[in-house]
Structure 1
Amino acid sequence: MALTDEAIAKIRQMIQSGELPPGARLPPEPQLAVQIGLSRSGVREAVKALESARVLDVRRGDGTYVTSLAPRLLLEGVGLAVELLRDDTLLEVMEVRRLLEPAATGLAAVRLTDAHLDELAQILEDMRTAAEDAEKLIQYDTAFHRTVIAATGNETLTSLLDGLSGRTVRARVWRGLIEGNAAHVTLGEHQAIYRALRSRDQVLAQATALMHVNTSESWLRTILAEADGESD
């Protein structure tokens, strides 16, 4: 593992220095091993690890290339990790969302276009129509927040929040809201976020988003507490 870690560090340094920019093809494995002064096996394992991290793209029969290094690729693992987190750690994810999502929504208020507003209005209508269908609500809820965050134009922020707002978390919250006859509350909060965005009011957009995340976090805590009680 030490040799693999060293090979990873040296390849990363070549990328960071610009010697291997996005889209560049890596030297063949034997040449790269000589170039960085490590064994071919160490290089091979390093390439596998960097491929898993979406830093490298191994094309069979063609070669190995540096990816675009776009945030959506490099941060893809965040979403996969969130889906695997244990219940107690999901609350930590909600805390991070509480820090980031309201600020992002406020930023969206001053950057979004009329096309974004039209899209959000349609999603809200779809949500109202599907008020008793948890699966559809999860789908529309995801689309609503993804549209809002994408309106910031910040791909890193969009990718990070997309990963933190995983389907597992949304599913548990929405099913709890429906079973608790409180889905109308969060539907109203989505409407409030939309109105704040439409008025281009950054402070109000941030406040309404914070209230919404707090509601989701509160319901998640309730659901997890009930699950703990059933397991005792």
Structure 2
Amino acid sequence: MSLDPVRRPSLSTEVLDTLRRQITSGEWPVGTRIPPEPELMRQLGVARGTVREAVRALAHAGLLEVRQGDGTYVRAASELSGAVQRLYADRASAELLDVRAALEGKAAHLAATHVTDDDLAALAAALERRAEAWAARDFEGWVSADWEFHTRVVDASGNALLAELYRNLTEPLRASMSGLWERPGFNGADPAGHEDLLAALRGQDPAEAARQADINISATAEWHRSTR
């Protein structure tokens, strides 16, 4: 049996892979403006055309956003996240909430038997910051603390694949929370799905933990429906 010769990747592919690693590793976080073309050319030692080809490919994949006259920004941390944002940009949030319900419900069920004392302490700290932000009417702080809580629950599930999938969907899923602050009847301090979920995790009760996760998503979906 003969083997095909091993071919060295093209220079543009190498540059594309280098830029992608900057994004997926978190060196260039979502929302960051990446270095301008001349700086990338200097750092990478390549021509302008090679840089532009790589940037165009990453923009097509949804990782970068080119803003004419402003620069190029990191749009998503993975191709999956970028694709979801592109596909669902003009769609109702109901489908994204369905995805959250599926992932978070299973994660909470698993976390009830895998959660550690360190996990519980981190979850409690996130909820404390969440409550403080709500009381101070700090919506951005509230969203950050709330999202940290949900992400830590998923991490505590012990299922690395589930956690990785969830993190790849962070941007579009977190975006589904936008505007909740102004919705009539929304209570960002409601313990259901948060403090009550933490209590279920402390009690190592998988069924109750999953139920609390579902309560949280169901309430969010209801607020979205009621204010359309």
Normalising by structure 2, report the TM-score.
0.62
Q: Which blocks of at least 5 consecutive residues in structure 2 are unaligned?
A: 26-42, 46-76
Instruction: Give a deviation string over 1:154-189, Cα, whole Å, max 9, x none.
Output: 2221121123342x5435535324442422464443
Most deviating of 105-114 and 94-103: 94-103
Q: Residue 116 of structure 1 aligns with which residue?
A: 119
One-letter amino acid matched to 2:203:
S
Q: Which blocks of at least 5 consecutive residues in structure 1 are unaligned?
A: 1-33, 62-74, 226-232
Instruction: Determine the C-alpha separation between the residues in 2 that align with 1:216 and 1:145.
Output: 14
Most deviating of 186-195 and 108-117: 186-195
Larger radius of gyration: 1
Instruction: Give a deviation string over 1:3-58, Cα, whole Å, max 9, x none.
Output: xxxxxxxxxxxxxxxxxxxxxxxxxxxxxxx615x8x8xx538946983776xx9x
> SS of the counterpart of 1:87?
coil
| Matched pairs, number | 171
Structure 2 counterparts to residues 196-207 of structure 1, below 5 A = 196-207=200-211
> SS of the counterpart of 2:125?
helix
Q: Residue 152 of structure 2 aligns with which residue?
A: 147
Q: How far does residue 137 in structure 1 lie from its aligned partner after superposition?
A: 1.0
Is 1:133 the equivalent of 2:138? yes
Instruction: Determine the C-alpha separation between the residues in 1 that align with 2:90 and 2:226.
Output: 12
Structure 2 counterparts to residues 50-199 of structure 1, below 5 A = 51=17, 76-84=78-86, 85-88=88-91, 90-131=93-134, 132-166=137-171, 169-171=173-175, 173=177, 175-184=179-188, 186-199=190-203
Over the matched positions of the two proteins, sequence identity in percent amounts to: 28
Q: How far does residue 134 in structure 1 lie from its aligned partner after superposition?
A: 1.4
Normalising by structure 1, report the TM-score.
0.61
Judged with a 3 Å threshold, the aligned counterparts in structure 2 of structure 1 residues 120 and 191 are, in CA distance, closer, same or farther, namely same
Q: How far does residue 147 in structure 1 lie from its aligned partner after superposition?
A: 1.0
